[in-house]
Amino acid sequence: MACEVVCKPAAVRAMADNVALFPGATLPNSMRLIRPSDWEGKELPQRIWIVDEWVPALRATMLSGPGGAGKSLLSQQLATHVALGLPFHGVGVRQQRALYLTCEDDMPELHRRQAAICASLGVRMADLNSELYLISRVGQLHSALIGYHPDGQIETSPLYREIENICKDKAIFFVVLDNVSHLLPGGKNDDALVLTFLNALEALARSICGSVLFLAHPSKAGSQYSGVMGWENHVRSRMYITRPKAEDGGADPSLRILSREKSNYATVGDEIRLRWQEGAFRPYDDAAIWSESLEGASKAGRENEIFLACLGKAAKERRALSHSPHAGNYAPKVMAAMPSAKGLSLTALKAAMERLLHLEDIIADQPLWQGQDRKFVRGIALAGRLRDGSPDLAQPIENACGMVPSDVCGAVAGRFVPDNSQPIENACGTVAGGLLQGSARVSAEGKPPKGGLSLPLSPDQHSDDDWLDWPDGGYHDG
């Protein structure tokens, strides 16, 4: 489909790069004949994901959930992850420029929400420069994307075409539309209209060579979507967010479960557990509290502090402690006899050690200091301590900027760093709240972003015999 606005050269290039990743994404002839014999000997095309096994490229994905579950927050946060190329709660993403359009939240709310999302990721608003765009249509009429023409035919609306043109002008490849009640008003029970609406979103995904995520509400009857069965039957990818039931840990109102309810391209039933905290969703396993109650949280925090104090005291005394229960210097057993343990039981110290290992505040089996035989004594180390182990020199990394020196003992993402005095360039997506250089974009050497999924191929890397003619449209036979 031809771009109806004058696309900027940079956007044209970016769009061409993305189109090269998807042979056949836009077809000038809907009745193009395909001969399977032409595929003889050719490599199978790779399935492309925007969010690995959750949001496929070139398709429309539905996200539904009850009111107040956090669909809007989750989708704006997902758009932020995609825009920055940061993993989404442990799931790989493909870095793409993103657009979030809402018909229910105004700009001040989007601002507050974005600030909380950025704070949760340890990034600045400036890191999203030209990577994420927001649109609020609160209070605006004519938000339908399709409708009936007076002659009875269904057609796309001016808003639909405007969204398409914006994406092409800005080289946006991931679009979030919030939500169906506004985008298809009064049509959720019209099977023909629902089918055409979903096809229109699929066409939009292909037209921009990206992906569309749209939000929907469930029905009062308990179904995960509202309207005709077409919402379930015609989509190829559907997610659902809800508060867990009491037996799943629902005593904490901040908990959420994001589940993959339908996928024609991946297994169903997978879940991502989230915790709402300070205005954003954080991974459930990264929560500082181990118990669901405030009393339990305070108790666990105190036990963690005592364990760390004992570990620090043992380091000053040059006593290496082990995480192995079979070792003579098993940390909880040694600590239970230390005055610094303040009478904490062996069981409590063991639980604190497991929590701290899980949170990567401590790292097991690390070289601590050189013994008399010049070999390193190994044991539990605080994440971020220098290998020297000296109390004065053993300072944690708090404000590392971009590069982290490799003489850090297992300080980044739990990885042991070889003694080669080389900087770590891909240790993790953020260090003390700052994006590593190139974490949201591919580097000059062609390394993938921190999201874990590679960026689109450039035209000179594309090996297909077909050629692209952009923006006048189409994918043509060469």
Residue 4 falls within a domain, yes or no? no
Number of C-beta neighbours around residue 410 at 10 A: 22
Q: What is the pLDDT of residue 411?
A: 31
Q: What is the pLDDT of residue 264?
A: 67
The answer to whether residue 75 scores a pLDDT higher than 80 is yes
Task: Please tell me the least confidently modeled range out of 372-386, 410-424, 456-470.
Answer: 410-424
Whether residues 64 and 131 share a domain: the answer is yes
Closest CA to 318 of 366, 361, 371: 371
Whether residues 376 and 271 share a domain: the answer is no
DSSP class of residue 422 equals P
Whether residues 337 and 380 share a domain: the answer is yes
Residue 350 falls within a domain, yes or no? yes
Whether residues 382 and 327 share a domain: the answer is yes
**Where does a domain end: 263, 286, 309?**
286
Q: What is the pLDDT of residue 334?
A: 95
Q: What is the pLDDT of residue 414?
A: 31
Whether residues 187 and 329 share a domain: the answer is no
Q: How confident is the model at residue 155 (pLDDT cuts 50, 70, 90)?
A: confident
Which domain range does residue 328 map to? Answer: 294-358+361-412
Whether residues 212 and 66 share a domain: the answer is yes
The answer to whether residue 324 scores a pLDDT higher than 80 is yes
Reading the block at residue 217, the tokens are 């509400």
User: Which pLDDT tens digit goes with each residue over 210-250?
Assistant: 999 999 877 544 554 555 665 666 777 889 998 877 655 44
Whether residues 237 and 91 share a domain: the answer is yes
**Where does a domain end: 240, 261, 286?**
286
How far, in whole angstroms, is CA 399 from its chain's centroid? Answer: 24
Task: Please tell me the least confidently modeled range out of 116-120, 366-370, 473-477.
Answer: 473-477
Q: What is the pLDDT of residue 236?
A: 78
Q: What is the pLDDT of residue 37?
A: 93
User: How many Å apart are CA 191 and CA 214, to the nearest integer?
Assistant: 18
Q: What is the pLDDT of residue 246?
A: 60
Q: What is the pLDDT of residue 415?
A: 30
Mean pLDDT, range 403-431, rounded to an integer: 32
DSSP for 197-216, written as a single string? HHHHHHHHHHHTTSEEEEEE
pTM score: 0.60
Mean pLDDT, range 84-93, rounded to an integer: 89
CATH assignment of the domain containing 272:
3.40.50.300
Whether residues 119 and 73 share a domain: the answer is yes
Whether residues 233 and 262 share a domain: the answer is yes
Q: What is the pLDDT of residue 291?
A: 38
Q: How confident is the model at residue 20 (pLDDT cuts 50, 70, 90)?
A: low
The answer to whether residue 280 scores a pLDDT higher than 60 is yes
The answer to whether residue 141 scores a pLDDT higher than 70 is yes
Residue 377 falls within a domain, yes or no? yes
Which alpha helices (DSSP H) does 256-345 contain, by range? 294-316, 331-336
User: Which pLDDT tens digit goes with each residue over 361-394?
Assistant: 899 999 998 888 888 999 999 886 543 444 333 3
Residue 373 falls within a domain, yes or no? yes
Residue 457 falls within a domain, yes or no? no
Whether residues 307 and 282 share a domain: the answer is no
Q: What is the pLDDT of residue 443?
A: 33
DSSP for 362-413, written as a single string? EEEEEEEEE-TTSPEEEEEEETT-BTT--TTT----SS--S-B-TTBSS-BT
Q: How confident is the model at residue 286 (pLDDT cuts 50, 70, 90)?
A: very low
User: Which pLDDT tens digit goes with each residue over 176-197?
Assistant: 999 888 998 876 677 888 888 9
Mean pLDDT, range 102-122, rounded to an integer: 95
Residue 186 falls within a domain, yes or no? yes
The answer to whether residue 398 scores a pLDDT higher than 60 is no
- Tell me if 280 sits within 8 A of 116, measured CB to CB: yes
Whether residues 56 and 145 share a domain: the answer is yes
Task: Please tell me the least confidently modeled range out of 335-339, 455-459, 460-464.
Answer: 460-464
Mean pLDDT, all residues of the chain: 74
Residue 180 falls within a domain, yes or no? yes
Residue 307 falls within a domain, yes or no? yes
Q: What total of structural domains would you count in the chain?
A: 2
Whether residues 276 and 399 share a domain: the answer is no
- Tell me if 106 sits within 8 A of 74, measured CB to CB: no
Most confident of 108-112, 244-248, 348-352, 362-366: 108-112
